[in-house]
Amino acid sequence: MLNKTSLEQKLEQAASVVCKQGMFPFPVNDTSISIIKHVVGEHEDALDMICAFKSKASQTAEELTESSGFSAEAVSRIAGSLARKGLIFNQPSGSGIMVYRLLPLMNVGVMEYKFMGELTGDDAEKELALLFKQLMEQVRDQLQGNYDKLVPLFKSAPALDRTVPPKVSESGKPIRVIPVDRKVETPEEFVLPSQSVEEIIGKFEDIAVGHCFCRQRKQVLGEACATEASTLNCFTFGKSARHTVAQGFAKKVTKEEALKIMKEAETAGLVHKAFHPGSNESRPETSICNCCKDCCDTFNSWREGAFPLINATYYISVIDEDLCAGCGTCVDVCPTDAIQMNSSEQAERNAEACLGCGICARSCPEEAISLKEGLRKVFVLPPRLRKE
């Protein structure tokens, strides 16, 4: 018979360890504890295993055996179960040593992996989706209540993701790229990241595709996506691909299949967002999301006042006033509201909010928008929703 008090304590302890993972910590409260309980259940061994990561988020099997107190066999079994639940990344290092890394609640962790695979439509999925929605509302309230204190923390954070623009417009013509007019100054150790999805896909032998976790989670809550696009276009590469396939979150695809899905995503007007290990753009990509304006967690959490937009990009849009007909198409498709119509009824771009995603250039019927090269970090604070 489980001791209720002991179980509650272990749930809270496990939640506190998980909530510290990732770029930004999440609050340890009834909601985050409920998420851990929902995902892990009343399995004390699993909760103890999570707590073993308190001092070190990534551990070898030998280290985890020592920190957890479990046998090597138990470590493999329990950690493997937690990996299938989206809480642990368990893949061997380049030297072949198995490494276990505890994942965060979000970006990229439990939330993403729990809604990346095929959904069943049961009540448990809806309950978990509601818990994550509630948690994001609480994060928003926490940020809004401490807005000025948190701004310095956000400004020092690295880019969460990187936009990769399409190369052709809706008509099939190449999008005009304006070369940078001076040498881009980058650190000597920095390697310029791949600037097309074709180049990224070409680098990997292991490619997997799963469902868009943002759109799937919103569908569970009955919030239909305005974009009539397939949800099967969330990509992982290399070690991440091997992990998602092994845990049943995604399926392996060929390079040809991946390119076909990417092109379908572009046709649907989705934004390519690439992710790198440790947010280091000079390292090979781990994944690519194909994001819509209305469902993407990154766009929504910014728009709703919970998190800033922090993005890396190599492009910025340039609007030719002489060609702009003032149709407003670019205003409608821009995911960050970086384009507005000015007093002359022409499109005007706000450089600070432009991700260089190229969706405006791809959609412009007059071909009035080009992409100019230039390595940038885009940082846009979330709107301040509360008055002091």
Are 304 and 294 in contact, with CB atoms under 8 Å apart? no
> Which ranges in the chain are annotated with CATH 1.10.10.10?
4-148
Length of the chain: 388
Give per-10-residue mean pLDDT for the chain (388 aa): 69 96 92 97 94 96 96 96 97 90 94 94 95 96 92 88 94 91 56 86 96 95 88 96 97 97 94 92 93 93 94 96 95 96 94 96 96 93 77
How far is 54 from 37, CA to CA, in rounded Å?
A: 18
> 4-148: which CATH number, 3.40.50.300, 3.30.420.10, 2.70.170.10, 1.10.10.10?
1.10.10.10
Are 297 and 135 in contact, with CB atoms under 8 Å apart? no
Q: Supply the pLDDT for residue 184.
A: 52
Strand partners for 309 = 380
Are 152 and 317 in contact, with CB atoms under 8 Å apart? no
CB atoms within 10 A of CB 78: 22
Q: What is the dihedral of CA 373, 194, 330, 213, to 10 degrees?
A: -150
CB atoms within 10 A of CB 92: 13
Q: Supply the pLDDT for residue 2.
A: 47
- Angle, helices 30-40 vs 4-19, to 10°: value is 100
How far is 365 from 353, CA to CA, in rounded Å?
A: 22
| Residue that the structure tokens 């990229």 belong to | 108
How far is 235 from 274, CA to CA, in rounded Å?
A: 9
Q: Supply the pLDDT for residue 221.
A: 94
Helix (H) or strand (E) holding 39: helix 30-40
Q: Supply the pLDDT for residue 151.
A: 86
How far is 56 from 67, CA to CA, in rounded Å?
A: 9
Q: Cis link prior to 108 (omega < 30° from 0)? A: yes
Q: Supply the pLDDT for residue 183.
A: 57
Are 159 and 275 in contact, with CB atoms under 8 Å apart? no
CB atoms within 10 A of CB 49: 28
Are 306 and 315 in contact, with CB atoms under 8 Å apart? no
What are phi and psi for residue 380, nearest 5 degrees?
-130, 120
pTM beyond cutoff 0.85: yes
Strand partners for 349 = 339
What are phi and psi for residue 237, nearest 5 degrees?
-130, 155
Q: Supply the pLDDT for residue 293.
A: 92
> Closest by alpha carbon to 46, among 4, 82, 6?
82
